[in-house]
Structure 1
Amino acid sequence: MKFDGVLFFPVTPFTDKGTVDGGLLKEHISSRLPFGPGGVFPACGTGEFHALSLAEVRTVVRAAVEVVAGTVPVVAGAGGPLGHAIEAAKVAEDAGADALLVLPPYLVTGPSEGLVAYIEAVARASSLPVIVYHRGNAKFTAASMATLAADPKVIGFKDGLGDVGLAQEIVSAIRASGREDFALFNGLLTAELTQGAYRGLGIPLYSSAAFAMAPEIATAYYDAYEAGDEERRNALLEGFYEPLVRLRDQTPGFGVSLIKAGLRLGGLSVGSVRPPLVDPSEEQLVQLSAILAKGYELVGR
């Protein structure tokens, strides 16, 4: 499975009654497809997987599959308690997903062999290939990733931890395994800020929550990144991404909340985030609006 372009993590829109709005989700995704994402990742972190029921995961993934219509891979989230993760894998397969992003297990921290077994159990639950998400209490070692890379159903690794030394060891271990088809992602929050460094580690792909909110800006960054236009890339970092990160860091969970707020500011009524996340204050919305305005100015919109 090949990913070529910005990796798009759509939000999950909710109605005023708090239910998933499948029609608006289709509109959200279809409006971003002309910008050429390399893959669509519904019901993952930006899509509030942590707050979705299995029935809602099915609704979200099916909507994404219908809109994408095979043009790029659709990778659905699965994770949390093992039983829930296994059922989410089955639901995603039934809804037509192409692969799974395996999010961390719930609450407990297990040893390396336990994490390997967790990934293997989710992989066995469906026919779909899986991508490992290295984040939080799912901290993999180079040895554990070498073990998983020996399984052809494991096709990728997404780093959300930010330990660059460990990430380099894992990249080296995967290379040593002989896998040339393994996708390597930077999955840190607002990954554009760190992608210059991750490219040096041998991790060329990155997830972009900003693409869901402002595809023109995210695509301009990606184009500069791919072209090696460091002047353009740094201008976008300094004018848009760095201020966005400073605002994001004011409140836990704003990696998702600000994206939904930005969509609402742009006229797409995707609703609020679900607890335990919170929406930005009025003052923070003013700041976000100014940051977006500057970003659009930089890209000439």
Structure 2
Amino acid sequence: MAQFKGVYVAIVTPFTDSYEVDYSALKEHVDWLISEKVDGIAPCGSVGEYASLTSEERKQVIETVVNTANGRVPVIVGTGAPTTKEVVEWARFAKSVGASGLMALPPTVYNPTKEEVKAHYKALNSVGLPIIAYNNPYDYKVDLTPDLLAEMSDLDNLIGVKEFSQDVRRVHEILEKTDLEVLVGCDDLALEGAIAGATGWIAGFTNSFPRESVKLFELSVQERVKEALEIYRPMLPLFRYDAKPELVQAIKYSLQLAGKPVGPTRAPRLPLSEEVYNLIKAAHEKAEQTRSLV
């Protein structure tokens, strides 16, 4: 039985127009997502702009999400940081405030050896919370291959992987070689990943289309492909931004278009060009066709 099945939102961090964290808006967003029937929340990931937060802001974001969720859905906290020591400290903090699990990148600041990657997760394993390893060789140097994941199978708290290699064949191979849960990492592989056997999806555009995304994934897991495609295909132009450098700006703009503004992004992420915003708007409007199907 999968521990973290269903749709988890890699939640944005709202900012005011003066680039301060808007904790009130964060609470409102968590409440809305839960009311839309998402299965869980994942704060302080890439979409949450964790690297642009101060330590105090990050602590308050984690506490705000955990306290607002209040046990209604699990909260899986992103632990990304430059050093293993810091990663472990963030994991311990997440545990201390009641998080349900961790979404853990490998070392990211340089290209580590295989033994260094394994040692990193071994240190994290000692915290005692369930770990979803985050494999994102698209943005970082490390590729958590199925063989490497199999070598880490002795870590009792490593229970799953957020798979963002953008190769759906990985789902089959991970399930063949390990006992890990697989959570889709790319929004535009949600249907394919579920059909291949993924039991979860940590999603970006679920921020602006939560109910539709939940229905899409439910249909996909049930292999009701024709019905799933009716929702999936109109959403794909928007979902494809999930694997582009401007994903955070695109998600926040999509939320603005949905009537749920969450403010700007912090530097180094800058506003996009009018041309790109127009493309995102067109993709968002196409995705809105799915609201009548749910």
Query: Normalized against structure 1, the TM-score is what?
Result: 0.86
**Aligned: 1:202 with 2:197:** yes
After TM superposition, the runs of 4+ consecutive aligned structure 1 residues lying more than 6 A away are none
**What residue number does 1:179 align with?**
none
* 2:45 is the counterpart of 1:44: yes
What residue number does 1:109 align with? 111
Q: Which of 97, 101, 123 is the equivalent residue of 1:95? A: 97
Residue of structure 1 in register with 2:286 after alignment? 294
Question: 1:266, 1:273 → 2: CA distance?
Answer: 17
**Cα distance change, pair 148–59 in 1 and its aligned pair in 2 (3 A):** same
What pairs with 1:151-300 in structure 2 (closer than 5 Å)? 151-175=155-179, 182-188=180-186, 190=187, 193-241=188-236, 243-245=237-239, 252-300=244-292
Offset at 1:27? 0.3
Mapped pair 1:30 → 2:31: yes
Aligned residue for 1:178? Answer: none
Match of residue 150, structure 1, among 154, 160, 163: 154
Unaligned runs of 5+ in 2: none
1:8, 1:40 within 8 Å by CA — same for their partners in 2? yes
C-alpha distance 266-53 of structure 1, shift in aligned 2 (>3 A) = same
Distance 1:224 1:142, change over 3 A: closer
Report the CA distance shift for 1:170/1:297 in structure 2 as closer, same or farther (over 3 A).
Answer: closer
Deviation at 1:65, TM superposition (A): 0.8
Residues 172-198 of structure 1, C-alpha deviations (whole Å, 9 max, x = no match):
2214xxxxxx4211112x2xx223332
Are the aligned partners of 1:58 and 1:95 in contact in 2 as well (CA < 8 Å)?
A: no
TM superposition shift of 1:259? 0.7
Aligned-pair identity (%):
26
- Mapped partners of 2:224, 2:210: distance in 1: 19
CA shift in 2, pair 1:198/1:131, >3 Å = same
TM-score of the superposition, structure 2-length normalised? 0.88
Amino acid at match of 1:63: T
Distance 1:195 1:219, change over 3 A: closer
Q: Distance in 2 between matches of 1:145 and 1:95?
A: 28
Greater RCO (CA < 8 Å, at least 6 residues apart):
2
Alpha-carbon separation, structure 1, partners of 2:209 and 2:232:
14
> Are the equivalent residues in 2 in contact too, given 1:240–1:291 (CA < 8 A)?
yes
- Aligned residue for 1:9? 10
CA gap of 1:292–1:217, structure 2 versus 1, over 3 A, is: farther
Letter in 1 for 2:225: E
1:32 Cα deviation from its structure 2 partner: 1.0
User: Relative to 1, partners in 2 of residues 1:41 and 1:219: Cα closer, same or farther, differing over 3 Å?
Assistant: same
Separation of aligned partners in 2, 1:238 and 1:147: 37
Give the equivalent residue in structure 2 for 1:140: 144
Q: Deviations over 1:22-50 (max 9, x none)?
A: 11101001011022222210111211122
Larger mean Cα displacement after TM superposition, 284-293 or 69-78: 284-293
Shift of 1:62: 0.6
Question: Matches of 2:35 and 2:72 in 1, distance apart?
Answer: 11
Cα distance change on mapping 1:215 and 1:197 into 2, 3 Å: closer
Deviations 1:188-236 (A, max 9, x none): 2x2xx22333235432322221111122332332243244332232233
